[in-house]
Amino acid sequence: MESLCPATGFVIMLRATESSKVVAGGFGHGSNTNQLCFPYGLVVIDDDQTIIVADWGNHRIVQWKIGEANGQVIADDEEPGHQLNQLNGQPT
């Protein structure tokens, strides 16, 4: 599969007062579990310090626990589609 990711990497950072910390991504663009490609949306769950990212360029949903180097893919399909087990959509 040809990469649709741009040459720059994506990171998700938490900003607290004067310091920032990378909590998701930060290892360039791509499809590994420590990389993102066109991340489009995210949800932060404070209770267990989890971030859920819609990684649009990879057709997947990735979950990161704060402090972990790799995310866990919780929904994925290599090809977009319209079946219940496939992801399909693009940012509007």
The number of distinct structural domains making up the chain is 1
pLDDT tens for 47-91 read 888 888 888 888 888 898 877 888 899 888 667 778 776 777 665
Residue 57 belongs to a domain: yes
* Of 3-17, 24-38, 67-81, minimum mean pLDDT range: 3-17
Residue 29 belongs to a domain: yes
Residue 5 belongs to a domain: no
Range of the structural domain that residue 45 is part of: 11-76
Residue 27 belongs to a domain: yes
Q: Three-state SS string across the chain, please?
A: CCCCCCCCCCEEEEEECCEEEEEEECCCECCCCCCECCEEEEEEECCCCEEEEEEHHHCEEEEEECCCCCCEEEEECCCCCCCCCCCCCCCC
Residue 3 belongs to a domain: no
Residue 6 belongs to a domain: no
**pTM: predicted TM-score of the whole model, two decimal places:** 0.66
Residue 84 belongs to a domain: no
